Structure 1
Amino acid sequence: MTEINAILEYLRNNPKATNPEIADSLKIDVNNVKANIGKLKARGYIEVQGQGITRTITVLKEMPVSKHSYKKEIIETMIGKYMEDFEESGTLNDRIEVGKVILRLLEKL
């Protein structure tokens, strides 16, 4: 997850969060938080109301999901399932066949 996506997710759950709070929770620089909030606001992803401790941020829309990250998530899930099959395989030949599938999936990551 990118910094900007992490900030958007944090704001969805914590609309009254301050920049230092976001920075501490996500372990990123407070200046990056400020810059990313500015980008999110400029791009129409969030709306900022008020200032300082009375500031409330409303998430207006979600960031688009990239095909690459979605594909990677699916492949990682598949690998997990095939690893279970690999561990439960009764014969050496079954393990070899499942292992080949796992290796092909790993190459796609």
Structure 2
Amino acid sequence: MNNISNYEKVNEEIIPLIDETHYTYKYNGNDVLVSFKDGEHTEYFENKKYFIKSKVRWISNEECIMTIQFSNLPNFPFRKGTELKMKILKIRRGKVFYQSTLGGRTWTGKMSILQ
């Protein structure tokens, strides 16, 4: 039996909760600039001196998989092709609260939306 509602859901366009936007978070006391744009995710460290670039594949409107493409961040332990899974838990008062999983490790964090 063919279930039309499942068929429609599979073919629905995913509209991410965050896209075409910039964010910041703190890492070791310093601001990190984060950009989500055109299916790419970039994190800039030390005023854009260092960065991590990833491709983003949204699997639902609040969940994505980021695949690392390139990094010039010193001592960065992950290689091209490493996947990070991020789930947006909530967006409140200009902050995005999320849960990430990378290399078998899971943590929560928050990013501030830049105006």
User: Quick check: TM above 0.5?
Assistant: no
Q: Which has the higher strand share?
A: 2
Larger Rg: 1
> Using CA pairs below 8 Å that are at least 6 residues apart, which structure has the higher relative contact order?
1
Alignment TM-score, normalising by the size of structure 1: 0.22
